Amino acid sequence: MQHISTTPFGRRPVTAELIEAQALAHAPLPQEGPDKWSIFRDLTAGRVAFGISDRDLTVLSALLSFHQHASLAEGEGTIVFPSNAALAERAHGMAESTLRRHLGALVRARLILRHDSPNGKRYAARDAGGAVTRAFGFDLRPLLLRAGEIANAAREAKAAALRLKRLRETCVLQLRDAAKLIPFGRETVAANWDALEDRVRLSQRALRRKLDADALRDMVRDTAALLRDVTALLEPATTDCADQTEEMSGNDGANERHIQYSNRNLYDLEPSLEQEEAAGADAPRPVDSTGEMQGTGAVTGAPPKLPLFLVTKACPDLLDYVPQGIRSWYDLVEAADFVRPMLGISPDAWQLARDAMGPEVAAITLAAILQRADDIRSPGGYLRALTDKAAVGAFSPGPMIMALMNVEGRAA
């Protein structure tokens, strides 16, 4: 009968933890078990629950490499008996004193067991046929017996890491919205934007640290409050724009939206400049600082102060016509050029808008008109009215976009 020793060799004392861990030495092994490296991967993910470090795992990986089978349930037992020199070599040249320290940590975590020989050496006794009859070394059976516990710890660790990632993402997105809305707010509403900008920078600095779940939840609440404060200051401008748009609105029943894909130019929905001149219409044209009528090639509008992501978020209908997405101002202008005839806006009206506002601002304006096409009686006439305001410096697309953002927020 083989006796399994429960006491350590040398001066190491017997402890209650040692006696408790030795119960694993007598537990029956399952007939089949998972791959030893899958257990190791799960242990790597859930190592915090077992109180072990990455260096401890390096030593455990070296020990597992001495077991000759894919599963610990296979082969001639679960005890491996490498020398310190062989083990240090597979642990990437780890010093022997460091090796002993990490082996002790694995034993205390009850992931391996010691089976010490009478003289403290690690070896295996074999019979005449070469089969192992008794082995002294490190027993890996706790890994197999605790495989389910290790797998649960790995799942919990991965779920916790995912929760942390989602919380951090929420903080980053809220801070990004606040940080990009503040420059726009400076140009639109008089307020203490410096204080809000300081709050954004302090939160961004705090996110550089490694925060736990509780700290990240607190930060999510803080960044949400910050974003609410920023949008609250922008509401007066958005209200003014909403009132302005309502003045241009028509009856839904009489002006049902109709957008079609057709090669026909929809000049019948808005007379072209030549038709207006033939009918004697006095169509106002933008003029430059000298009083001369502007040509069709000039760009007089200033670059947009709105961030592109805010425009696409407020005007999602435009994305229906751009399957590849809008990643730059050039893409936005191209999309506006494509959608323009579907709204019944003549080339003359569109060119005048581009001259007076600049291509990017004109594209933003057209995207906003498309978003509210159900409410606007004549998109072409509305664009001409806004072009006249832009020609005298009395138009900005910012309030239109913020009004649409408020509509989207209430719909959500």
Please indicate, yes or no, whether residues 22 and 135 belong to a single structural domain of this protein. Answer: yes
Res 237 pLDDT > 70? no
Give the total residue count for the chain: 412
Q: Which residues contact 89 (CB under 8 A, 6 or more apart)?
A: none
User: Which DSSP category does 14 fall into?
Assistant: P
Q: Mean pLDDT over residues 30-46, rounded?
A: 88
Q: Which of 83, 114, 145 is the last residue of a domain?
A: 145
Place of tokens 């019948």: 268
Does 300 share its domain with 364?
yes
List CB contacts of 188: < 8 A, sequence separation 6 or more: 234, 237, 396, 398, 399
| pLDDT at site 70 | 85
Domain boundary among 112, 145, 178: 145
- Asked whether the CA dihedral 81, 86, 89, 95 is positive or negative, the reply is positive
Q: Which DSSP letter does residue 87 get? A: H
What's the pLDDT at 234?
Answer: 82
Confidence of residue 155 (pLDDT cuts 50, 70, 90): very high
Residue 57 lies in a domain: yes
User: What distance in Å separates the CA atoms of residue 328 and residue 347, rounded to the nearest whole number?
Assistant: 23
Cite the DSSP H helix spans in 46-146.
47-50, 54-65, 84-90, 96-108, 141-145
Distance CA 236, CA 302 (A): 23
pLDDT at 42: 94
Same domain? For 258 and 405 the reply is yes
Same structural domain, 257 and 398: yes
Identify the pLDDT of residue 394: 82
Task: Name, of 84-88, 134-138, 401-405, the range with top average pLDDT.
Answer: 84-88
Return the pLDDT at 302.
Answer: 53
- 152 in any annotated domain: no
In this structure, the answer to whether residues 227 and 272 fall within a common structural domain is no
119 and 198, same domain (yes or no): no
Domain count, the chain: 3
The answer to whether 261 and 390 are in contact (CB under 8 A) is no
Question: Are the CB atoms for 339 and 312 separated by under 8 Å?
Answer: no
- Print the domain residue range for 347: 253-288+295-411
Q: Is the pLDDT of residue 297 over 60?
A: no
- 262 and 209 fall within a common domain: no
CA distance 9 to 280: 111
* pLDDT classification of 291: cutoffs 50, 70, 90: very low
Instruction: Provide the token pair at 295.
Output: 């040509």
Contact between 368 and 386 (Cβ < 8 Å): no
Shared domain check, 272 and 239: no
Q: Does residue 158 register a pLDDT over 80? A: yes
State how far the Cα of 343 lies from the Cα of 153, in Å rounded to an integer: 58
Per the DSSP assignment, residues forming a β-bridge with 136 are 123
In 3D space, the residue among 274, 62, 47, 253 whose CA is nearest the CA of residue 150 turns out to be 47
Sign of torsion over alpha carbons 159, 162, 166, 171: positive
Q: How far apart are the first and last CA of the chain?
A: 74
Per-residue pLDDT averaged across 371-378, rounded? Answer: 86
181 and 152 Cβ atoms separated by less than 8 Å? no
**Which carries the bigger pLDDT value, residue 336 or residue 32?**
336
**Looking at the structure, do residues 306 and 173 belong to the same domain, yes or no?**
no
Site of tokens 């706790």: 142
- Lowest mean pLDDT segment, chosen from 28-37, 51-60, 307-316, 321-330: 28-37
- Give the Cα separation of 311 and 99 in Å (integer): 59
Beta strand spans in 108-212 (E): 113-115, 123-126, 132-139
Burial class (CB in 10 A: 0-12, 13-18, 19+), 113: buried
CA–CA distance, 231 with 239 (Å, rounded to integer): 12
Structure-token pair, residue 157:
């660790």
Say if residue 167 is in the same domain as residue 201. yes
Identify whether 236 is part of a domain. yes
In this predicted structure, what is the pLDDT of residue 383?
92
259 has a pLDDT exceeding 80: no
Give the per-residue pLDDT at 223.
92
Select the more confidently predicted residue: 298 or 366: 366
Proportion of the chain above pLDDT 90, given as a percent? 28
- The two tokens of residue 131 are 């089969």
Query: Given pLDDT bands bounded at 50, 70 and 90, which one contains residue 292?
Result: very low
Could you tell me if residue 137 is inside a domain? Answer: yes
Burial of 260 (0-12, 13-18, 19+ CB in 10 A): exposed
Helix, strand or coil for residue 249?
strand
pLDDT (0 to 100) of residue 402: 85
239 shares its domain with 335 = no
Residue 47 has pLDDT above 80, yes or no: yes
SS3 sequence of 353-395: HHHHHCHHHHHHHHHHHHHCCCCECCHHHHHHHHHHHHHCCCC
Across the range 343-367, mean pLDDT stands at 91
- Top pLDDT among 296 and 188 is at 188
pLDDT score for 400: 84
| Residue 11: predicted pLDDT | 58
- Could you say which of 145, 171, 196 is where a domain stops? 145
Q: Taking a C-beta distance cutoff of 8 angstroms, is the pair 45, 157 a contact?
A: yes
**The CATH number of the domain where 40 resides is what?**
1.10.10
Asked, for residue 8, whether it belongs to a domain, the answer is no
DSSP alpha helix (H) spans, 46-93: 47-50, 54-65, 84-90
Comparing 39 with 262, which gets the higher pLDDT?
39
Q: What is the pLDDT of residue 73?
A: 79
Domain assignment present for 69: yes
Q: What is the pLDDT of residue 251?
A: 44
Domain for residue 188, yes or no? yes
Residue with tokens 């506002």: 357
Angle at CA of residue 405, ends 400 and 411, nearest 5°: 130
User: pLDDT of 165-199, one tens digit each?
Assistant: 999 999 999 999 888 888 888 877 888 888 999 99
- Looking at the predicted structure, is the pLDDT value of residue 131 above 80? no
Judge whether residue 164 has pLDDT over 60: yes
Judgement on whether residues 222 and 260 belong to the same structural domain of the protein: no
Stretch 385-397: mean pLDDT, rounded?
A: 87
The verdict on residue 7 lying in a domain is no
240-246 mean pLDDT:
49
